Structure 1
Amino acid sequence: MLPGDPKDDAALRKARGAFFTPAPVARFLADWAVRDPAHAVLEPSCGEAVFLHEIGRRGGHVGPLVGVEIHADSAAASERSLREVGIDATIYARDFFSHNEFGAYDAVVGNPPYVRYQDFAGESRARAREAALRAGVTLSNLASSWAAFTVHSALHLKPGGRLGLVLPAELLSVNYAAGVRQFLMDHFTSVGLVLFDERVFPGVLEEVVLLLADGYRTDGGAGATHMELSQVRDAEGLARLTASRRWTPPGNGAKWSAGLLSSAGLSAFDAAVRSDAFTVLETWGDTTLGMVTGSNRFFTLSPAKVEALGLAPSDVLTLSPPGSRHLRGLGLTAATLRALGDAGQATSLFRPAHEPSPAAWHYIQSGEDLDVHHAYKCRVRTPWWRVPYLRPADLFLTYMNADTPRLTSNRARAHHLNSVHGVYLRDGLRTDGMNLLPVAALNSVTLLGAETVGRAYGGGMLKIEPREADVLPVPAPDLVRRNADGLRQVRPAVAARLREGRLLAAVELVDEVLLLETSTLTERQLRALRRDHSALTARRIARGKANGGR
């Protein structure tokens, strides 16, 4: 059915991931992908067949035009609308993943359905994952529908064919798309992206990019080694698109978020992270998830409650309280932990190491009376009340952030829960890592890097998982050691600015020591980094607000 049909309302279209493509977008992709009137063209999930209309509108096209649409009434209406304007096209009313009989094409163009993983389930998901697996791409259960659709679309190309698709911008940043990103680089000789400053689809919150993948390969030869990135304000700007810039993305399906940077920002960022001055956090140590209790309300205790319960010292462990608000400075000291406990925060973890004391047995029984032992994490371990142990980490890394991830020295030797990550520093790097890395990591390169390796979460928060933290760009050990005196000198001022909530003012002090005085970056490059960090942060926060905190 075409837009406006009362029997195909917005809710039904959203359920199957159908969003009608603006004509300027369809025209741009059709013009880019279809360069010969004899080309065979496929538009999968064609909806109202806007791409086929754009190809036929030019006149003189003699190659086969084929569409596939799962919604039977939409398929019939599309075929009828094409016929009415004299465009000869065949529309199959079928599930694109159910059949492999659609043939091979010189170009595949379209706007894949976007159905989130929560609604993309059952037989449809199984068929989609099987289709992607035929191309060697394994998709997790978190994958939305477009991911498999992209891979399956490519499998319908002839050697040398072009793939032009409208895709959600999460192609650049979500972990589940790693296989799709690598597939595109491996199977096309040229890969390009068009990015938009504004949202393209009226009334749709998702941001999109245009994928321009050329030179499909089936011979196992080398794929693309770089990408061509273009940026326009909106869909109308596509008609004036002329310039692009070359970018070499990281390998192994790593995120393409850095592609959102400006030319100047990307150049400066690459200059820093590819130099000896910077490395990744994994060089310093291993980042791990914290302990999972199954019921923080039961297992985390304030000092007053430990005393009231009469628990023995062997019944509890020293704990960094749940959450990370108290980890926004440079270090968690024993004095800070005592102050948090005096304020009523939970600085103890109930975890008898061996035989619980009589008071601990009484507390365990009270937990069973409240059915704590039936919580999932509790009922799958024996005994249910003994939380799996992790030794105290050297550093804490906050993973849900309104501004940027913070590294904090664990001078209190406290244990941590899964509300923060722990960083276990490598031998030979522990002293410098504990003393200097939390300060050194407050620089503009690392702040911008966090926006590219992390991902936006509900409410505009920046979330960073351990494997994302592994590739977070941070100052290299040699750079930190060479500038140890300068870092120690600015540390008190940095700490003061952090206490005042002035993160960027603290970063300016560190930038001067690590980036400017060492000639790692010029003033001009640093300004470009800061502009891009501000832009990406604003973009993340705006998306979070627009998505209503989802």
Structure 2
Amino acid sequence: MQLIEDASAQKLRGAYYTPPAIASFILHWGINGSTDADILEPSCGDGVFLEQMAKENMLFHHATAVEYEAVEAEKARAIGLHDSEVINSDFHRFCLDTEQSFDLVVGNPPFIRYQYYDEGQQELAGEIFKKAGLKRSKLTNAWVTFVVGCSLLLKETGKMGFVIPSELLQVTYAQQLRKYLATSFNKINIISFENLVFEEIQQEIVLLLCERTGTGEHLIEHIEVKDAEALQQLDPHRLKLPTKQIDFHADKWTYYFLDKEELDFLNKVRVDGMPKIGTYADVEVGITTGSNGYFTVPQGVVDMYQLHEYARPMVGRSVQVNSLCFTKADWLQNLANGAKANLLVFTPGAKENGNEGTKAYIENGEQQGINKGYKTSIRDDWYVIPSIKLSDALFLRRNNLYPKFVLNDAQAYTTDTMHRVFIKEGLNRKAFVVSYYNSLSFAFAEILGRNFGGGVLELMPSEVEGVYLPYREENAKLFEKVDQMVREKKTADEILDYTDKELLQKGMGFSEKETKMARSIWYKLMGRRLNRETLEKAAPEEKGEIKKAVARVKQLNFFDVLQQYPENIVENAPIVQPTKKQEPDVEMDKNVLISLVKSDNVERYLDQSAKIYYTGKRFPSTVALNKLYYFMPYIKRKGIRDLYLIKIARVGTRKEGQPDNDPNDFRLVFEIEFVKKLFKDYKPVELEIWHTFTDTNLKEVLDKCLKKRKFE
């Protein structure tokens, strides 16, 4: 978790101000020809909405703006909008104290994560939720509180138009809000954008437009436009007529990206009573080891430490499963390929009673601090993993094109990168697994899952259980053919062309039109997810001193790297330590990555004690990862001095093994070892990519920093 003192003032305020085109659109939608509206802007910043009202001479009765920051509030007052007041206050307090009600609420609520909320704001937010009849989680972002609070201040026929994160559509902490909005408003419109509106924070946003009409209807609509400027071509009056009935049972609102005919088709599937995966199986998370890197090992480690007594077959990566059935032969092939295909299942007392190799390996874990991790530290014996159960099948937790579902014939264990599926006794296991491979089940996986940066689709156990499944025992006869198609790397379309006909048309009586619609729904949802990935990968234009050659460097897709390198990207042999009188040998032609070090980690690099380096969320795609050898930390306002060996480069998470770890916060992780000082004093160098990285080799570093090409 980032400490509050390390966060920028902008991040603490959650202040990313609204483009004028969006402010104008929301205001026109909300006022809609009225001249007597009472308007509220609950977090006005420097007054973008007020300025737009003044610039366009909009007519209204009175405008009230609230702003927490005194300097920003003064800027808003300086706009001089008629019939308005700017209140320098915390909106939470204003919301609870005011007796006013409003015809229209507009704005861009602050995006403040729970850890940046002070205790007073937390308490006030809790009161707002209680007033709305809701329960507030401590994980709730500030924008959710603003939406709930503003809805309480609306008149019976009021409108609310907000710029909010697209997280509204799918995240768990907004699930209660979605249900609240669905019941509190009669018309809801969601406008999304193909291109990012706030490129500087890589945050996708939507416009949430809610209206109370006093009728009993509850309708919703989704519209997508290219960018903020494209709103000028969208008639706000069109938003009067949403056509889709709100499904109060729908968990996520990504569902409404579909058109009415598609929604009607999916509702028919539900009404007709098609079973779900959960009808036939229980789905649980995989084994939580507390440190996958320590407890999952290749055969070489088992042999080196004589851990054969504790080694169990395991599978933990998507690339290790390229079939409908994971067999013993598949596991042996992974083992031969050097994959981490063994799970170490230590027994209580192994540290005291095991062989010398076992004792050494456990002690090595303690030297690395594995025993102090959040999960491991609460165990009686930190190295004894709980909940060791074999499952009948495996379902991949995170996926790219489509989620994989495989039969576990190898009797392999899995970590929390996969879910364990326990099939009910008496069910035909092959028929069960192959029944999933069809367009309809893929479509429901998209609807029920959640999207993360990089285009990744994640499903949790309850969501997997909710996927509709056209199961029939006769489907078992399709298993070998589909398994072979997957092993031969046939395209998804080739596989679905076969399975849709067999499973949906012949098996369930779907018409050709219905089958095509199922495929179309999957295409639409999957395509939107992956299209967003393409947008996120592109970095903004670099300016000034950044070299033209890397003026538009793209962001590396960490998930793709994880697929390509399921274990380590590089493993470089440790430096042989010389005698005190000798200098370590260095290789001038080896690649060097120079990277900016964050302020909270500087001390470890100043005294050469650093053992690990995490990149930020963005890393340039131009760096040849498999050729990385050396690392040089760049200390802000100082430069470079020290040379490190990159022992291992891999994909991980920034806070892995810690209680506040975010499993979706992918980073590149470099395990490093100090080699030597290259220079007596720090030397300035230019960071050529995003002011953060330089990709070079050791000779070039010396050429740039030294007139004499030799070490000091």
- For Structure 1 versus Structure 2, the TM-score category normalised by the shorter chain is 0.7 to 0.9
Give the structure 2 partner of residue 82 of structure 1: 80
What pairs with 1:459-538 in structure 2 (closer than 5 Å)? 459-471=454-466, 473-477=467-471, 480-481=472-473, 483-485=475-477, 487-488=478-479, 491-500=480-489, 502-517=491-506, 518-523=508-513, 524-526=516-518, 528-538=520-530
Give the structure 1 partner of residue 161 of structure 2: 164
Q: Secondary structure at the match of 1:109?
A: strand
Larger deviation, residues 362-371 vs 64-73? 362-371
**How far 1:402 sits from its partner (Å)?**
2.0
Pick aligned residue for 1:260 from 257, 262, 265: 257
Give the structure 2 partner of residue 283 of structure 1: 279
Pick aligned residue for 2:188 from 181, 191, 203: 191
Q: Matched residues in 2 for 1:37 and 1:519: separation?
A: 57
After superposition, the Cα gap between the structure-2 partners of 1:506 and 1:139, relative to the gap in structure 1 and judged at 3 Å, is farther
**How far 1:396 sits from its partner (Å)?**
0.7
Deviations 1:463-499 (A, max 9, x none): 222233232x23243xx335444x34xx425533444
Deviations 1:480-529 (A, max 9, x none): 335444x34xx425533444262332222212212334442534524533
**How far 1:421 sits from its partner (Å)?**
1.0
After superposition, the Cα gap between the structure-2 partners of 1:319 and 1:285, relative to the gap in structure 1 and judged at 3 Å, is same
Q: Matched residues in 2 for 1:110 and 1:521: separation?
A: 47
Q: Quick check: 1:319 aligned with 2:279?
A: no
Q: Matched residues in 2 for 1:370 and 1:207: separation?
A: 38
Contact 1:147/1:180 (8 A) holds in 2: yes
After superposition, the Cα gap between the structure-2 partners of 1:28 and 1:279, relative to the gap in structure 1 and judged at 3 Å, is farther
Give the structure 2 partner of residue 440 of structure 1: 435
After superposition, the Cα gap between the structure-2 partners of 1:371 and 1:208, relative to the gap in structure 1 and judged at 3 Å, is closer
Give the structure 2 partner of residue 298 of structure 1: 294
Deviations 1:428-472 (A, max 9, x none): 43x2xx20233222222222322222222233222222233232x
What pairs with 1:207-286 in structure 2 (closer than 5 Å)? 207-215=204-212, 225-233=218-226, 234-239=230-235, 242=238, 245-251=242-248, 254-263=251-260, 265-276=262-273, 278-286=274-282
Q: Secondary structure at the match of 1:423?
A: strand
**How far 1:397 sits from its partner (Å)?**
0.8
After superposition, the Cα gap between the structure-2 partners of 1:69 and 1:355, relative to the gap in structure 1 and judged at 3 Å, is closer
Q: How many residues align?
A: 521
Give the structure 1 partner of residue 420 of structure 2: 422
**How far 1:193 sits from its partner (Å)?**
2.2
Contact 1:24/1:238 (8 A) holds in 2: no
After superposition, the Cα gap between the structure-2 partners of 1:400 and 1:527, relative to the gap in structure 1 and judged at 3 Å, is closer
After superposition, the Cα gap between the structure-2 partners of 1:60 and 1:230, relative to the gap in structure 1 and judged at 3 Å, is closer
After superposition, the Cα gap between the structure-2 partners of 1:43 and 1:223, relative to the gap in structure 1 and judged at 3 Å, is farther
Q: Quick check: 1:342 aligned with 2:331?
A: no
Q: Matched residues in 1 for 2:426 and 2:284: separation?
A: 19
**How far 1:14 sits from its partner (Å)?**
5.5
Q: Matched residues in 1 for 2:139 and 2:490: separation?
A: 36
Pick aligned residue for 2:128 from 124, 127, 131: 131
Q: Matched residues in 2 for 1:223 and 1:384: separation?
A: 57
Contact 2:13/2:112 (8 A) holds in 1: yes
Give the structure 1 partner of residue 354 of structure 2: 358
Q: Secondary structure at the match of 1:82?
A: coil
Q: Which is greater in Rg?
A: 2
TM-score scaled by length of structure 1 = 0.84
TM-align CA RMSD: 3.2
Q: Matched residues in 1 for 2:28 and 2:112: separation?
A: 27
What pairs with 1:46-195 in structure 2 (closer than 5 Å)? 46-55=44-53, 61=59, 63-83=61-81, 87-99=82-94, 100-102=96-98, 103-117=100-114, 119=116, 123-195=120-192
The aligned amino acid for 1:335 is A
What pairs with 1:374-393 in structure 2 (closer than 5 Å)? 374-393=372-391
After superposition, the Cα gap between the structure-2 partners of 1:445 and 1:303, relative to the gap in structure 1 and judged at 3 Å, is same
**How far 1:290 sits from its partner (Å)?**
1.4
Give the structure 2 partner of residue 405 of structure 1: 403
Q: Matched residues in 1 for 2:474 and 2:235: separation?
A: 51
Q: Matched residues in 1 for 2:303 and 2:411: separation?
A: 21
Contact 2:315/2:413 (8 A) holds in 1: no
Larger deviation, residues 109-118 vs 154-163? 109-118
Contact 2:39/2:106 (8 A) holds in 1: yes
Deviations 1:16-75 (A, max 9, x none): 233333344333322333354333211111124343455566768462211111122222
After superposition, the Cα gap between the structure-2 partners of 1:188 and 1:240, relative to the gap in structure 1 and judged at 3 Å, is closer
Q: Matched residues in 2 for 1:216 and 1:264: separation?
A: 25
After superposition, the Cα gap between the structure-2 partners of 1:53 and 1:101, relative to the gap in structure 1 and judged at 3 Å, is farther
After superposition, the Cα gap between the structure-2 partners of 1:373 and 1:203, relative to the gap in structure 1 and judged at 3 Å, is closer
Q: Secondary structure at the match of 1:422?
A: strand
Q: Quick check: 1:331 aligned with 2:328?
A: no
After superposition, the Cα gap between the structure-2 partners of 1:329 and 1:125, relative to the gap in structure 1 and judged at 3 Å, is farther
Larger deviation, residues 394-403 vs 194-203? 194-203
TM-score scaled by length of structure 2 = 0.66
The aligned amino acid for 1:449 is F
After superposition, the Cα gap between the structure-2 partners of 1:38 and 1:236, relative to the gap in structure 1 and judged at 3 Å, is closer
Q: Quick check: 1:451 aligned with 2:446?
A: yes
Q: Matched residues in 2 for 1:365 and 1:202: separation?
A: 47
Contact 1:227/1:246 (8 A) holds in 2: yes
Q: Matched residues in 1 for 2:113 and 2:276: separation?
A: 32
Q: Matched residues in 2 for 1:464 and 1:332: separation?
A: 20
What are structure 2's unaligned runs of at least 5 residues? 1-7, 540-554, 558-616, 618-712
**How far 1:386 sits from its partner (Å)?**
1.1
Contact 2:430/2:476 (8 A) holds in 1: no
After superposition, the Cα gap between the structure-2 partners of 1:528 and 1:340, relative to the gap in structure 1 and judged at 3 Å, is closer
After superposition, the Cα gap between the structure-2 partners of 1:505 and 1:208, relative to the gap in structure 1 and judged at 3 Å, is same
**How far 1:372 sits from its partner (Å)?**
3.3
**How far 1:172 sits from its partner (Å)?**
0.6
Q: Matched residues in 2 for 1:43 and 1:71: separation?
A: 14
Q: Secondary structure at the match of 1:97?
A: helix
Give me the identity figure in percent: 26
Q: Matched residues in 1 for 2:212 and 2:236: separation?
A: 24
Q: Quick check: 1:542 aligned with 2:542?
A: no
Higher RCO (CA 8 Å, separation ≥ 6 residues): 1
Give the structure 2 partner of residue 6 of structure 1: none
After superposition, the Cα gap between the structure-2 partners of 1:235 and 1:117, relative to the gap in structure 1 and judged at 3 Å, is farther
**How far 1:392 sits from its partner (Å)?**
0.7
Contact 1:300/1:349 (8 A) holds in 2: yes
After superposition, the Cα gap between the structure-2 partners of 1:64 and 1:53, relative to the gap in structure 1 and judged at 3 Å, is same
Contact 1:394/1:410 (8 A) holds in 2: yes
Contact 2:315/2:412 (8 A) holds in 1: no
The aligned amino acid for 2:374 is Y
Q: Matched residues in 1 for 2:488 and 2:432: separation?
A: 18
Q: Matched residues in 2 for 1:211 and 1:91: separation?
A: 24
The aligned amino acid for 2:238 is T
What are structure 1's unaligned runs of at least 5 residues? 1-10
Q: Secondary structure at the match of 2:212?
A: strand
**How far 1:245 sits from its partner (Å)?**
4.8
Contact 1:332/1:408 (8 A) holds in 2: yes
